[in-house]
Chain A
Amino acid sequence: MNRNLKIRTAIIVAVILVCLYGIIGIPKSKDELIANWHKNIHLGLDLSGGTQLVMQVQIQDAFKAVADNTIERLRLELQKDSIPTSGDLTRNDPMTLADADKIEIDIKGIPSDKSSTFRSIVNDQFADWVPTALNSTDYKLTLKPTESLKLKQDTMSQTMATIERKINALGLAESSVQPTGRSDAEAELLVQLPGVDDPAHVKQLLQTQAVLEWDEVKDGPFNSREEALTKHGGILPLNTKLVPTAVRGGQQEWYLVSRSAIVRGTDIRDANAAQGDLNRWETGFVLTQQAAKRFETYTSSNIGNRAAIVVDGVVISAPTIQSKISDTGRITGASSQEEAADLALNLRAGSLPAGVKYEEERTVGPSLGADSIREGFRAGIAGVVAVVVFMLIYYRRSGINATLALVLNAVILIAALSYFDATLTLPGIAGIILTIGMAVDSNVLIFERIREELRAGKAVVAAVDAGFSKALLTIIDTHVTTMVSCAFLFIFGTGPVKGFAVTLVIGLAANLFTAVFVSRTIFDFELSGRRQVTALSI
């Protein structure tokens, strides 16, 4: 055996070992082997069972919230400098994602002698906004493009982080949240929940915005919105808002509460469900130090008054303040342990800066996944066995060679998936099938070429040599063409198409190695042992 051949053999053995390590590690027992296999080979949700959600973040919500906040602050500033306006400050109401950055605030009736003061207030303290004069007294504020972009990005990253916290709090292993990766869908998130086959509860939980407010109750409860309005002469008092309770038994009540909250969701440090009086479930929360001070001052001066705990615009409970409270509080009114626990979880995870809407939901029950794997696997094995049997009959000894190359190809492909942490999905399996087809093709091409050369009267060694070198060009052309198409599929394709492309590229690269390098080495190995080669089993 010559030196060159030894080196090549060493390379092949090394590759095999590295691949096997990637797939099964170094197992000491059969159980460990299986465990390692499961650890290294990640099955996609379509195979393992689980739920995949695509949600669209309603970024316009965040824009509206920012505008509301600005209106609130601006109103105070204008009052401070006694600049009158005709009517309240208002904002428009963008309903869709695309309209989010068309948000604007309208200010009407600024006297012309105050306009320079107004402008300087906006420029100094509301630098994110651009004031435009509509006429001598009316203005509109629009968000600066840079700020608008930043707000979008912040909203997305906050939403992603919050949803991640919620999922982690649910204890769903191996779940993930990520942008969908579609270039023109910047507001979409892909949530993958392996093992979840009944996603209704999780969906509900993720969708809850969980904006908590502790408001002062100014008046109420009323039986209807109209009743409240009538009592206050048709207009709500300044800095108040009407908030409904949840509908219970067909009944709904309304409270008039302070517009600015005493404590918000962001002030909460921890929350937990617990059983309180009469074994009813409730959610206890702990405030941050700063908020606790504020809360203490407020509660001590408001003993006997009512407060409203508002979650996502609905009054959950309206307790009477019994005593001074500093850093802990309770939210009662939960109807079950689950409800109390869900609220606690949402409070811990923090509120979503914008609502989310589900666009796509795919649930594969574990049994359906298991069935499709089992059937696909069985059919795949049957197909491959048929191919191998045929190759062995048709090419005899060289068929062994091709089979070895084929097996090694599969091993490298699986190992690469394991090393890259890629997940194996159905389209990925399509990629593997094409890979196997092309691997068989490469071998057939080479063997047919060698046969041709033998027929043309070449000696065995020369025929093998010519067969390989002539087929090489074809193999490279076919492989590179397919790889080029994969590159485009990867760049422009969506999830499943991408998965196909990735698996195929890995498979093709592996195939170039096995069909050209490994197969050749096996031939050389066989030929090198004999002194005078006169026949080749092909």
Chain B
Amino acid sequence: MELFKHSDFDFLGKKWPFIILSLILTAAGFVSLAVKGGPRYGIDFRGGALITVTFANRPPVDKVRAVLSGALPVQVQEVSGKQDDIVGIDAMEDTALQAARQKIVDRLTASFGQPSNGKYNINAGGAQALADRLRDPLAAAGIPTADQQLATLTANIMDYRKQHSGLIRNLDDLRSAPGITPQILNVLKQQTYPDTVAVVGTDVVGPTIGAELQRKAVLAVLYALGGMLVYIAFRFEWIYGLAAVIAVFHDTLITIGLFSLFNKEITLTVVAALLTLVGYSMNDTIVTFDRIRENLKIMRREELEPLINKSVNQTLSRTVLTSGLTLLTALALFLFGGQVLNGFAFALVCGIIVGTYSSVFIASPILIFWNNFLEGRKRGPRGPASPRKEPSVPAMVAAKVKTPVSAPSTGKERPRRGAAKVK
């Protein structure tokens, strides 16, 4: 089975619509960013608290909002398809943050939880606390409880809770957990109750460390881009490095813009996804460039634009296959990957699509523009268009060709470029 056997699309002839599309997308992103006052950072970068709460019977999100609003600057967000809600608190001072978190938990428990009646909430705390609570009552009920047995018992209960999204709905459900006898269940019922609301995750990030993380992440990415630019410049030619980095930068910008348009938060996990898409996009661009470099060696008489077009066509089936397959995985993650991975997968899906076309419609045209610019300068601003005599972009390729004849000739005529590139 083959997709593109002899494809011969005129990609670069249609570069303008795509470049304009890119510009529009970038502009839309920028406008959205400007209107919303910058990217919507998650608490990782902004500082604040994020509390994930799960309910046995999820109340309408408005009700949760109503319970929490007023006293605290919180946002409540629904996690689709799950019994979870996310409560976000804005950045505030360290100790205030701790107090606010406690307040939120208290209010939620008061409004949506069950009265404890002096019993122990089996949906809060760990195995140790539960064991401490059960030790004496179990002994009183005449159930032998060595520390070891007790530890196994409570661990089993905790395991059961973990397997059921952090919430035991009914103590009778525990019958199916290993090691729970009717007698033990009786003691459990006397001593504990399952609350209908539980905090399953908390993130608290101080405002200073948030700003710090933000700065560090941006710096790391910029340095990484710089490093790649230098390496590609070393392997190809500097304009290739620049073109690749511009393309990757373009992808990142558009993705961040899309995040703003879709009102999604940028968290540390999303940064990991942005790094991943930088990797993908760079990979794609290099594959194309590699083919261009190779063709420059073989087809020395060809004009640059048709040559690049041909290279893109030759790598087309690879591009479509690889991007299609990775997009497939990213889509699977996006659709079924759950709440934690959602932002991550969204960035990947956008990034793969944008990253694929940027190699063809952004990175490659830059090579052509640069070539035209060089030729234009050589011939004077209004010189007649003539077949390329001395290739400017492939200069280093000529120098790299093993036959000694071509290398010195290029080097001699264009010493500024060719000679330096011999490796």
Contact = CB atoms under 8 A, between A and B. Distances in A.
B268 A496 contact: yes
B340 A481 contact: no
Contacts of B286: 474, 477-478, 481
A430 B318 contact: no
Interface stretch (A222-230, A272-280, A380-388): A380-388
Contacts of B232: 481
Interface string B213-238: 10011011101111110111001000
Contacts of A438: 279, 283
A470 B291 CA distance: 10
A161 interface: no
B329 A386 contact: yes
B317 A493 contact: no
Interface residues on chain B, size class: 35 or more
A54 B209 contact: yes
A40 interface: no
Contacts of A365: 52, 166, 198-201
A249 B319 CA distance: 74
A431 B126 CA distance: 32
A297 B326 CA distance: 78
A400 interface: no
Given A182-B216, A438-B283, A477-B235, A360 B209 contact: yes
B283 A441 contact: yes
Interface stretch (B55-63, B141-149, B330-338, B380-388): B330-338
A434 B235 CA distance: 23
Contacts of A441: 283, 287, 318, 322, 326
Contacts of B235: 477, 480
Contacts of B167: 367
A233 B314 CA distance: 96
Contacts of A504: 279
Contacts of A196: 126
Contacts of A195: 126
B220 A361 contact: no
Contact of B333 (A46, A383, A470, A482): A383
B261 to A, nearest CB: 23
Contacts of B204: 358, 360-362
A375 B338 contact: yes
A285 B369 CA distance: 80
Interface in A414-464: 426-427, 430-431, 433-434, 436-438, 440-441, 444-445, 448, 451-452, 455
Nearest to B277: A434
A198 interface: yes
Interface string A318-334: 00000000000000000
A375 B283 contact: no
For the complex of A and B, list the 10 residue pairs with the smallest distance between their C-beta atoms, beginning with the closest: A375-B338, A367-B166, A383-B329, A365-B200, A427-B272, A383-B332, A485-B224, A372-B340, A493-B220, A359-B206
Interface of B: 1-2, 5, 52, 54, 94, 98, 124-126, 158, 161-167, 198-206, 208-209, 212-213, 216-217, 219-221, 223-228, 230-232, 235, 268-269, 271-273, 275-276, 278-280, 282-283, 286-287, 290-291, 294, 314-315, 317-318, 321-322, 325-326, 328-333, 335-341, 344-345, 348
27 contacts: A358-B94, A360-B204, A367-B164, A368-B166, A372-B338, A372-B340, A380-B332, A382-B332, A383-B328, A383-B329, A387-B325, A387-B329, A390-B325, A427-B268, A440-B326, A444-B322, A445-B322, A455-B5, A477-B286, A478-B283, A481-B231, A484-B228, A485-B282, A486-B224, A488-B227, A489-B223, A500-B275
